[in-house]
Structure 1
C-alpha cells in the first residue's frame, strides 16, 4: 500500500514539473533588459526562443521573429531542441505512468505494469535533465554577455521563464526518481516473497514423495504386528486340549 501512495505522489510531482516545463517553452520573458541611469524607462526589452520584442511606455509591443533556423545562434538552436525533447519525454512519461501505476486497471500483469512505470520514471528523468540543460545554457549565455566588458550590445538579465523552467526540471527529476525507487522496492519485495514460498514448498517435499494415500509423518510409528503372537496363543490352547 505504501508503494502505491509513493507512485501516486511521484506521478503528481512529475506531472506538475512537466506542466511547468511545457509552459516555459512559449513564455515570453526568457531574458529582459532595462535602461540604466534613467528614472523612467521608456522601453522594456525582452526575448525568448522564438522572437525578440520591445515594449514602450504606452504598453505597445513591437516584436520581431528570429530569422531562418540556420541563421540563429547555436545556443538558441540547442535550447529549442532540448526544450522540445523535454516536453515530448514528459508527455510519454505521463502516459506510461498512468498505465503502469498499481492504482489503474490497465497495463496487464503486475510485472508488466512495473516495467511500464519504470520506463515512465526514466522518461521524466530525461525530461527534467533536458529542460535543466536548456535553461542553464541560456542563462550561461546571458551571464557571459552581461559580465563581458568587450560586449557592446544590450545586456539582458534573467527572465521569469528561466526560474519556471528550473523549478519544473527539479520536480521532473525528483518525481522520476521517486517513481523508479518505488518500482525497485516492489521488485525486491516480490522477489523475497517468491524465495520464501519456494523454501516452504521444499521443506515439505518429503511428504509428497510417497505414493498417494501412503504419506507418512516423521513422528509416526509403525503399528505392532500381533499375527505371530495370536497364532502362538492359539497353538498353546490346542496343546492343552
Structure 2
C-alpha cells in the first residue's frame, strides 16, 4: 500500500480537479466570438456556455441569457451538459471514498478495507476524468470545425474559451489523482490488525498469557504434591526395610547367660 505522504499528494490534485470541473461547468465562456465591435450600441464580445449566453457591451454592461429550451440545443451541447454534470457527481463520490481510504485517517475500517476503498476512489476519479475529457474534446472539435468553415460569416464564428482550458486541466488533475489511488493495492502487511482491532487483539493475547501462566502454576503445584507423596512413600519403605530399626539386644543379658553356662 502507498505511503501516507503519497496518498495526501494524490488527494490534493483530486480535490483541485473536482473544484475545477465544477467551476468549468458553470462558466459561460466555453466559446467566445472572434469579432470586437466598435460601435457603442453593439456588443463588443459574445460568449456562450453550457447553461447561458452572455454579452459584454462597450458601455460596460454584462448581460446573460439562460438556455431554457433543451430541445433547441445541438446534440454536442446536450451531451456536454450531461457528461459534465455526471463527471462532477462521480468525482465528488470518488473524493469521499478517497478520504476514507487515506491511511492518516481512523475511519474506513482495516488496512485492507482502506486499500480497497482507495482503489475504488481511484476508479471513480479516472472515470470522472474521462467524462470531462471526452465532451470537452467533442466541444472543441465542433468549435474549430465551425471556425474553419467558409460558409459562415466572421460574425458567427467562435473560438475556444477559457472554460475549455479549465476543463482540460481538471481532467488532468482527476486522472493523476485517480491513477495514484489505483496503485494503493493492499499487500501482506494489511493482514495485521489496525488501530481499531489492536486493543481487542492485545486483550486476547494478554488473556492467553494469563491462562498459560495459570496452567503452568497448576502444573508446578501438581508436580510438587506428587514429589512430596513419593518422598513420603520412600521414607516409609526405608523405615520398614532398614535393619537399624530392629530393637537392639541387651549386651548385659548375653554376658550373664555366658557366666551361667
Q: What's the TM-score, normalizing by structure 1?
A: 0.72
Q: What value does the CA root-mean-square deviation take over the aligned residues?
A: 2.6
Moved over 3 A (4+): 36-42, 188-193
Which residue of structure 2 lines up, in the alignment, with residue 151 of structure 1? 152
Q: Assess, with a 3 A threshold, how the Cα gap between structure 1 residues 44 and 36 changes in structure 2: closer, same or farther.
A: closer
Aligned residues: 191
Kept in 1: contact 2:112–2:190 (CA 8 A): no
Q: Measured at CA, do residues 24 and 158 of structure 1 come closer, stay the same or move farther in structure 2, by a change above 3 Å?
A: same
- Tell me the secondary structure at the aligned position of residue 71 of structure 1: coil
Change (3 A) 1:125 1:101: same
Give the whole-Å Cα distance in 2 for the aligned partners of 1:79 and 1:105.
38
Distance of 1:142 and 1:25 partners within structure 2: 17
Which runs of 5 or more residues in structure 1 are unaligned? 194-241
Residue 168 (structure 1) aligns with:
170
Matched residue of 1:151: which SS? coil
Normalising by the residue count of structure 2, what TM-score does the alignment of the two structures yield?
A: 0.67
Task: State the shift of 1:29 in Å.
Answer: 1.1
Matches within 5 A, 1:51-90: 51-90=52-91
Determine helix, strand or coil for the equivalent of 2:71.
helix
Instruction: Determine if contact 2:37/2:45 at 8 Å carries over to the other structure.
Output: no
Q: Is the 8 A contact 2:112 2:191 kept in 1?
A: no
Partner of 1:101: 102
Structure 1 residue aligned with 2:209: none
**Aligned pair partner of 2:179 in 177, 180, 185:** 177
- State the 1:64 CA deviation: 2.6
Which one has the largest radius of gyration? 2
Partner of 2:248: none
